[in-house]
Amino acid sequence: MDNTYNKTLTKTPSIQEAEAYIRRRFLLVERNRQSSYLDVSDNQIVEFSVVVAVITNRFQLKLKEAQTLLKNTFLNPYSGKSVFRPNTENKVLNINDKWVLNTYRKPRIDPDPNLSPQPFLDHLNLAIKDDTAIEFLLDFVAYRYQHRHVNAKTGKPAHALYIYSTAQGQGKSLFTDVITEIFGSSSVKSTTTADALIKQNGYEFWERIWLLADEVRVGDRTRLYDNLKARISKLTDTVDPKNRASMEVELPAQLIMTSNHPPTFIEPDDRRFCIIEWDTGLRDDAKTDYFDEYVAWLNTYGYPAIAGLLQTRDLSNYKPMAPPPRTDAKRYAILESEEPEVDRVLRLLDRYSDVYAFDSHTIDELKLPNKTQRQILRKAGLYKERINHKGKKPTLYIRDGYGVSAGNIVESDTKEVVVPLEKNLQRLEPTL
């Protein structure tokens, strides 16, 4: 593009300000010889007329002035790539002479060390009841608050958290909500399904500060377990995305898993996971009253107070590369991991990661004990249901998060069709 102005456009202070503004906010996107624009304020691709409207509204320019200005302003070309760089608030970066989008956005919560975080600390003591686990959790989170950007020079802590509670409504998700609020939504990726993590683009979940995985079932010696074990400590990996050449990707995220079940995959010599049992001991009205008060504190002073605690916490005793503490919950989890039947089911799910409903014949081949079959399948993330299919009512064992509707496998929350049921069952034929 020509970097000179149309002779009819006078370079006034308002015009100069508008030019600087659009150079900061927009990148040029060339598609099929047509110019579009990437709005870095919300990462949306917009057309010429939209940018013109922004200029006219913000700087009170006439339509012709705005059109002429945009046509004659040189905009940096967007390379099509993005990175996560929490060490800068710049939305656009020049890396290797290419203009890339920085996906990091500053959180709305500012830390305030002058506010007392005591309600948060009291909450952890109530829910965890293990001083060693509490201190590790605080160090684990505070380290990434003080070191948001990790690279080959700094290293990435080789630690992950697994938090579980067999009782419902004890505040595990509230804890991860606090993490999201304090670090900012751009610093967090979340998932509730195992297959999302092992797909070809599963690496994308590791491109932030935190990967939050809720009720993702993992089995010992499965592909998912091997994937997690490797990426917990890796900073980069070489991947082969679909229809794209192999490339190196960054994996700065650390993993926090939450569940209503103890883990069944922890090895006796594990050096990555800190296992924490989370239960306030409160039930019914007492639980409701307590969380109403705690949430009210979070929404007033709580978030900046917790951020202030993380910002100022002394981390001299935290060893990012040393094994995490062996909590009582971890010792229990290691014993629980000896349950071979659950592991057998999880290996089946791992083998058929694109199958969402299993027929009775397939489950019978696992030779699970009749008396405990239901409990074993639930621990592995399968539930039993009879459905109407081709005039019959077969029994299916369906993955958590999915269901059957009108002859299709659908996602439970969105009801979006995943695959026709018949096609899903045909994938099991080699095992019959």
Whether 2 shows a pLDDT value over 70: the answer reads no
Mean pLDDT of the chain: 91
Say what the pLDDT of residue 339 is: 72
pLDDT of residue 423: 93
Between strands 44-46 and 236-239, the pairing is unpaired
Q: What's the pLDDT at 176?
A: 98
* Domains by residue range for the chain, with CATH: 13-102 (no CATH), 118-336 (3.40.50), 340-431 (1.10.10)
Specify the pLDDT at position 157.
Answer: 96
Q: Is the pLDDT of residue 39 over 90?
A: yes
Token duo for residue 106: 């500053």
- Please state the rounded mean pLDDT for residues 328-347: 81
Q: What is the pLDDT of residue 267?
A: 83
Q: Which of 1-5, 353-357, 362-366 has the lowest mean pLDDT?
A: 1-5
Residue tagged 């980069």 (tokens): 236
Contact present, 9 and 72 (Cβ < 8 Å): yes
Gyration radius from the chain CA atoms: 26
- Check residue 422 and give its pLDDT: 92
pLDDT at 5 over 50: no
Note the pLDDT tens digit of each residue in 28-38: 998 878 899 99
Whether the pLDDT of residue 319 is over 80: the answer is yes
Sign of the dihedral defined by the CA atoms of residues 148, 152, 157, 158, in that order: positive
As a whole number, mean pLDDT of residues 321-336 equals 87
Res 210: pLDDT: 98
pLDDT tens across 90-149, in order? 999 999 999 999 999 999 999 999 999 999 999 999 999 999 999 999 999 999 999 999
Share of the chain above pLDDT 90, in %: 73
Contacts of 224 (CB under 8 A, 6+ apart): 194, 197, 198, 216, 218, 350
Cα distances (Å, whole numbers) of residue 25 to 38, 39, 48, 60, 184: 8, 6, 14, 17, 21
> 3-state SS of 146-203?
HCCCCCCCCCCCCCEEEEECCCCCCCHHHHHHHHHHHHCHHHEEEECCHHHHHCCCHH
pTM: 0.78
* pLDDT value at residue 430: 55
What are 71-91's pLDDT values in tens digits? 999 999 999 999 999 999 999
User: Span 49-72, mean pLDDT?
Assistant: 94
Each residue's pLDDT tens digit, 279-317 = 999 999 999 999 999 999 999 999 999 999 999 999 999
pLDDT at position 353 is 84
Q: Write out the H or E segment, with its range, that includes residue 358.
A: strand 357-359
User: Sign of the C-alpha dihedral, residues 231, 236, 238, 240?
Assistant: positive
Render pLDDT for 338-359 as a digit per residue (tens, 0 to 9): 677 887 888 888 888 889 999 9
**What is the Cα–Cα distance from 151 to 321, expressed in whole angstroms?**
14
